Amino acid sequence: MRLEVIKELDSADPFAEVRKAFSIPVNKIYLDGNSLGPLTLVAKKRALEVIEQQWGNDLISSWNLHDWINLPIKVGEKIGPLLGASSNQTICCDSVSINLFKLITCALAGNPERTTILSTTNNFPTDLYVAEGIQRLLGENRCRLQLVENHELNSALKQKPGVLLLTQTDYRTGEIFDIEELTSQAHANGTPVIWDLSHSVGVLPLEMDKWNVDFAVGCTYKYLNGGPGAPAFLYVAHNQQENCVQPLSGWMGHKAPFEFLLNYTPCNGISKFLSGTPPILSMSVLDAALTVYEKVDIHQLREKSIQLTELFMSLLSETGTLRQLQLCSPISAKIRGSQLAFAHQNSFGICQALAAKQVIADFRSPDLLRFGFSPLTLRYEDIWLAVEALQEVMAEERYLLPEYNKKLKVT
Ligand SMILES: *Cc1c(COP(=O)(O)O)cnc(C)c1O
């Protein structure tokens, strides 16, 4: 495919305008927006405002004056539409790990006769570590983590586990589960579900309400561009809220936190899932970043994401580079999120050699090279340039150079 043809795709791109809302370093081709989304101009402006005006000048009165106290609710309401969630079911707080702790324990408490947390071996490590921690805390009589392969879920559900804990988009391969189908299978066995939407939200159309999902969590620093360490979100369906008493019963989830009462009484509704004081700086930045999504049609965005991914694949194939890498993602775009993973014994070196050419991808242990396609910011031309760089790295075996093989703490 010629570069001119690709440039035409960019001229017709409905998201070309939205791209202008971002501060993207010139000459850098960023294929890692699925790990840390890029900076938006509004977020940068808000960060300065919050530091200088709100914290710097208005100090403690900002809790009321700038409504800091309601920020978790306000941001939750902005995330809700991206989940297909109507009001008062989504709130912004803590990290995914902490929110999982709250929701897994709530789901298990719903039916003490059932003790199994059912999940898959390919789930994201933190999800499984938190489940393991709950098993240790409650003891194996009360809680047992059962891990199966994807294709075994169906039969494992028939044994009526206490909760089904799954991540929709596999962080390595990008393979996506059908949330509606699995939720309905779980419900048929009386099992509530918790979906981790970390690699889905902001890039896949989601319908929590329509699909009858009970609980969900997700990250905001990936496709939602909330900034490094931005707080996560949790979703609890209306019909689950009343019965839940979450165990991290901190004062922000209390009915009347500023009455400083001796005992804990939870708020009504989604606010009971709050624990401690919200991180105002990062939550404000996230709040601003989310305004970019107000004008985005998620179905149209999904279309672009698929086109970018397919273009990457076909250019790899045209240049012959595909033969040197082993595709680990599904071939069919329908069951694939906005990422592609390839296995190669020198994946780490390839990733570093690409970075030296200003093409940023990531390496996932033990041997995966992963490319994320953030459709709000990537141009079709970027895909062309990235494949050109990858072709050079592979043809010249640049990944073997010692400078590209030094271990790093974060990969
Ligand atoms: C990124 C990611 C997380 C991160 O969890 P934190 O506790 O917020 O660090 C969790 N689950 C999945 C599936 C992820 O992709």
Residue 287: domain span:
47-294
126 lines ligand 1 (CB under 6 A): yes
- Cα–ligand 1 centroid distance for 98 (angstroms): 10
Decide whether any atom of ligand 1 lies within 6 Å of the 97 Cβ.
yes
**What are phi and psi for residue 378, nearest 5 degrees?**
-85, 140
Asked if residue 122 has its Cβ within 6 Å of ligand 1, the reply is no
399 noted as active-site residue: no
- Same domain (yes/no): 53, 140: yes
* Single-letter residue type at 398: R
Candidate list 15, 171, 177, 221, residue with the active-site label:
221
Which residue among 124, 168, 286 has the greatest number of ligand 1 atoms within 8 angstroms of its CB, and so is best to mutate?
124
Look at residue 411 and tell me whether its pLDDT is greater than 90.
no
Q: 294, 328, 350: which is the final residue of a domain?
A: 294
pLDDT at 345: 96
| CB of 214 closer than 6 angstroms to any ligand 1 atom | no
CA dist., res. 75 & res. 53, Å (int): 20
Asked if residue 396 belongs to a domain, the reply is yes
Give the total number of structural domains in the chain: 2
Residues 6+ apart with CB under 8 A from 98: 232, 248, 275
pLDDT digits (tens, 9 = 90+) for 262-312: 999 999 999 999 999 999 999 999 999 999 999 899 999 999 999 999 999
Cα(35) to ligand 1 centroid in Å equals 10
Does residue 96's CB lie within 6 angstroms of at least one atom of ligand 1?
Answer: yes
Question: What is the helix (H) or strand (E) element at residue 29, kind and residue range?
Answer: strand 29-30
pLDDT tens figures, 223-255: 999 999 999 999 999 999 999 999 999 999 999
Residues 26 and 84 placed together within one structural domain of the fold: no
Of 92, 119, 171, the one to substitute when testing ligand 1's pocket (max ligand atoms within 8 A of C-beta) is 171
β pairing state of 233-236 and 326-327: unpaired
Query: What pLDDT is stored for residue 391 in this prediction?
Result: 97
Q: Report the pLDDT averaged over residues 98-114.
A: 97
260 and 326 fall within a common domain: no
Is position 196 annotated as part of the catalytic site? Answer: yes
Please report the pLDDT score of residue 2 as a whole number: 87
Instruction: Give the burial class of 13: count Cβ atoms within 10 A of its Cβ; 0-12 exposed, 13-18 middle, 19 or more buried.
Output: middle
CATH of the domain at 370: 3.90.1150.10
User: Peptide bond before 192: cis, by omega within 30 degrees of 0?
Assistant: no
| Domain harbouring 275, CATH code | 3.40.640.10
Confidence category of residue 351, pLDDT binned at 50, 70, 90: very high
DSSP 291: G
Residue nearest to atom 6 of ligand 1 (CA): 96
Residues 6+ apart with CB under 8 A from 327: 313, 340, 341, 342
How much is the average pLDDT of 27-32? 96
Q: What percent of the chain has pLDDT over 70?
A: 100
Find the 394 Cα to ligand 1 centroid distance in Å.
31
Q: What is the pLDDT of residue 131?
A: 98
pLDDT in tens, 139-169: 999 999 999 999 999 999 999 999 999 999 9
pLDDT, mean of residues 389-404: 96
At a CB cut-off of 8 Å and minimum separation 6, what does 406 contact? Answer: 352
Q: Do 255 and 146 share a structural domain?
A: yes
Distance CA 36, CA 173 (A): 18
382 is catalytic: no
Atom of ligand 1 nearest to the CA of 171: 15
Average pLDDT (113-117) is: 97
Q: Are 225 and 373 in the same domain?
A: no
222, 304, 336, 398: the catalytic one is: 222
Note whether residue 38 is domain-resident: no
Last residue of a domain, one of 294, 321, 348: 294
- Length of the chain, please? 411
326, pLDDT greater than 90: yes
**Together in a domain, 22 and 59:** no
> Has 404 been annotated as catalytic?
no
Do 242 and 382 belong to one domain? no
* Annotation marks residue 221 as catalytic: yes
Report percent pLDDT > 90 for the chain: 98
Q: Which of 196, 214, 287, 382 is catalytic?
A: 196
Give residue 401's pLDDT: 95
Q: How confident is the model at residue 409 (pLDDT cuts 50, 70, 90)?
A: confident
On whether both 307 and 208 belong to a single domain, the answer is: no
Rounded Cα gap, residues 383 and 315, in angstroms? 9
229 and 361, same domain (yes or no): no
Token digits of residue 384: 């062309």
Last residue of a domain, one of 245, 264, 294: 294
Helices 347-356 and 380-395 cross at an angle (nearest 10°) of 120
pLDDT at 408 over 90: no
What's the pLDDT score for residue 322?
Answer: 95
Average pLDDT over all residues of the chain:
97
pLDDT score of 410: 87
How far does the centroid of ligand 1 lie from the alpha carbon of residue 68, in Å? 25
